[in-house]
């Protein structure tokens, strides 16, 4: 990664107002404004369902946690809406963490993030080997569960309309009910 891009990213990240996120995806810096209430309701509902229904009781739901994901020119720095990983996976003082223990990344699209959520971040999570990428696409009114990563893509995708249920793969192993989204 170009050192000047990394330095600029660090400067933007340090200067971002509270609630704003700064991500480095595909060598580009993205400054993301705070989410709207509908977005946060969907993230909260999804996190609650994971907490109540997960099969592995050691899994935790995290929001606002940064991850290093493989990127074409180097390492991307993303802050997914939801990260599911074993207890202790992010228990250090770093802002961006190793994605190896992560079992699911969840993204709820917003006008400012949809293009990255559907493209570069999805590919980066596949390259990182994250078993499941949950895309809740508000503009398309769909939910897509991507699984079985190979290279820079997921080989399986289960798509439903928001308001239906969709199976989340193991180790989560339950049906996510999107009727409350």
**What pLDDT shows up at residue 74?**
65
Residue given tokens 């959520």 in the structure block: 117
Q: Which of 108, 113, 112 has its CA nearest to residue 133?
A: 108
**What pLDDT shows up at residue 61?**
97
Does the reported pTM lie above 0.75? yes
Report the alpha-carbon distance of residue 146 to residue 167 in Å, rounded: 11
Residue spans of the chain under pLDDT 50: none
**What pLDDT shows up at residue 5?**
74
- Contact 1/74 with Cβ under 8 angstroms? yes
**What pLDDT shows up at residue 75?**
72
Domains of the chain: 35-177 (3.90.1570.10)
**What pLDDT shows up at residue 20?**
79
Residue given tokens 């700064």 in the structure block: 22
**What pLDDT shows up at residue 96?**
93
């Amino acid at each position: 990664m170009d050192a000047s891009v990394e330095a600029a990213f660090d400067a933007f990240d340090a200067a971002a107002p509270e609630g704003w996120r700064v991500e480095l995806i595909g060598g580009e810096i993205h400054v993301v404004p705070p989410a709207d209430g509908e977005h946060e309701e969907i993230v909260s509902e999804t996190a609650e369902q994971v907490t109540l229904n997960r099969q592995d009781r050691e899994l935790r739901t995290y929001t606002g946690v940064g991850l290093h994901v493989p990127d074409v020119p180097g390492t991307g720095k993303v802050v997914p809406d939801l990260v599911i990983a074993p207890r202790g996976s992010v228990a250090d003082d770093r802002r961006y963490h190793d994605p190896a223990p992560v079992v699911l990344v969840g993204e709820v699209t917003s006008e400012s993030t949809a293009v990255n959520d559907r493209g570069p971040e999805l590919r980066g999570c596949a390259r990182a080997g994250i078993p499941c990428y949950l895309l809740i696409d508000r503009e398309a009114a769909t939910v897509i569960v991507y699984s079985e990563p190979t290279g820079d893509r997921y080989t399986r995708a289960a798509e439903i309309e928001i308001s239906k249920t969709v199976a989340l793969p193991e180790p989560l192993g339950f049906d996510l009910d999107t009727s409350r989204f």
